[in-house]
Amino acid sequence: MSLHARLVVTRPAFALDLALEVAAGEVVALLGPNGAGKTTALRALAGLTAMSPGGRITLDGHDLHHLPADRRPIGVVFQDYLLFPHLSALDNVAFGPRCQGVPKAEARRAAAALLDRVGLAGHAAARPGRLSGGQAQRVALARALAVRPRLLLLDEPLAALDAHTRLEIRSGLRHHLAGFNGATVLVTHDPLDAMVLADRLVVIEHGAVVQQGTPGEVARHPRTDYVARLVGLNLYRGTARGVGVQVGELLLSTSERLTGPAFVAFPPAAVALYRSRPDGSPRNLWPARVGGVERHGDHVRVHLDGPISAFADITPAALADLDLTPGREVWASVKATETHAYPA
């Protein structure tokens, strides 16, 4: 393991306490809702936010937590990039090496090589104000890599970009992260960024880790409502009794056989809606009330209240046929084979 950390930041209205381990060459994404403590964790790693007693950071066997930011072997890509507006792209990238005592000519040569690597050789002389968002992001990445960090920290690296640029820059960033041999921690609230860029996700809520695993594991087995919403699943916690999971008053039949505390998850598209009770159905069936209806891509997402609250995705045609308005009583059903149960 390259990075071992326990990040502890205690404030009057907020407490962050999480353990983080990142191997050399590994990319870990800290994923969480706003206010979960992701950025605070990143700032603590960078040395920009003081840690409370109990916090420690060890990188390649050396303690970092007692060092100020300028003495840590880190590179940071900030959310708004924070390129120095009075310096050219080249001098921004050369800034770190210059601080490390590299002679000016050599630092500029190295910076030019890095800018070339991120495809910006032609923009070396440009001031940050003249760069597009995507170009600024790449200069920021080159600037962070120029100090040859052992730990690379990225704070919402794609949040400031428009959708089109984002797609392109995301794949470019993935490529550059793959070529970096130190540990990488990236903070994002976008599940797609996290899934594409990271080898492992660490989901944070209220200053603590609620789930971690590979993107695939987290997407298949969400353990909190936040993660379930991120990956687009209905999620319930209940007690498994063989072929079903008791969730409140409702027994949901599942294809897996389990006992004890368990989660059940199913996608909104697996939920079918009926105006009247369907006959002789072997499915999970429950009465629900329409809470709201919203457009969701090329389908319609229906919010259901009832014994369990759920999302159902239906076609616009089905919405018209069923005449679903908020407050209407419907029957909802899900096939057992479309559900997925796993131990809690």
Interacting residue ranges for other proteins, rule: CB under 8 A: 46-48, 68-72, 74-76, 78, 80, 82, 84-86, 95-96, 99-100, 143-144, 146-147
Sheet of 62-63, strand order? 14-22, 3-11, 56-59, 62-63
User: How far is Cα 89 from Cα 86, in angstroms, rounded to an integer?
Assistant: 10
CB of 65 to other proteins, least distance (A): 15
Nearer to other proteins, 2 or 92 (CB): 92
CB of 82 to other proteins, least distance (A): 4
CB of 130 to other proteins, least distance (A): 17
CB of 34 to other proteins, least distance (A): 18
Note the helical H segments in 133-258.
133-146, 163-178, 191-197, 215-220, 225-231
String of b and e for 141-165 (b: at least 16 CB within 10 Å)? bbbbbbbebbbbbbbbbbebbeeeb
CB of 29 to other proteins, least distance (A): 20
DSSP state letter for 52: P
CB of 90 to other proteins, least distance (A): 14
Nearer to other proteins, 142 or 304 (CB): 142
- Beta bridge partners, 253, equal 244
User: How far is Cα 37 from Cα 44, in angstroms, rounded to an integer?
Assistant: 10
Tokens 């008791």 locate to: 246
Nearer to other proteins, 84 or 274 (CB): 84
- Contact call for residues 156 and 187 (beta carbons, < 8 A): yes
Nearer to other proteins, 99 or 178 (CB): 99
Residues 6+ apart with CB under 8 A from 15: 9, 207
Nearer to other proteins, 15 or 67 (CB): 67
Nearer to other proteins, 150 or 223 (CB): 150
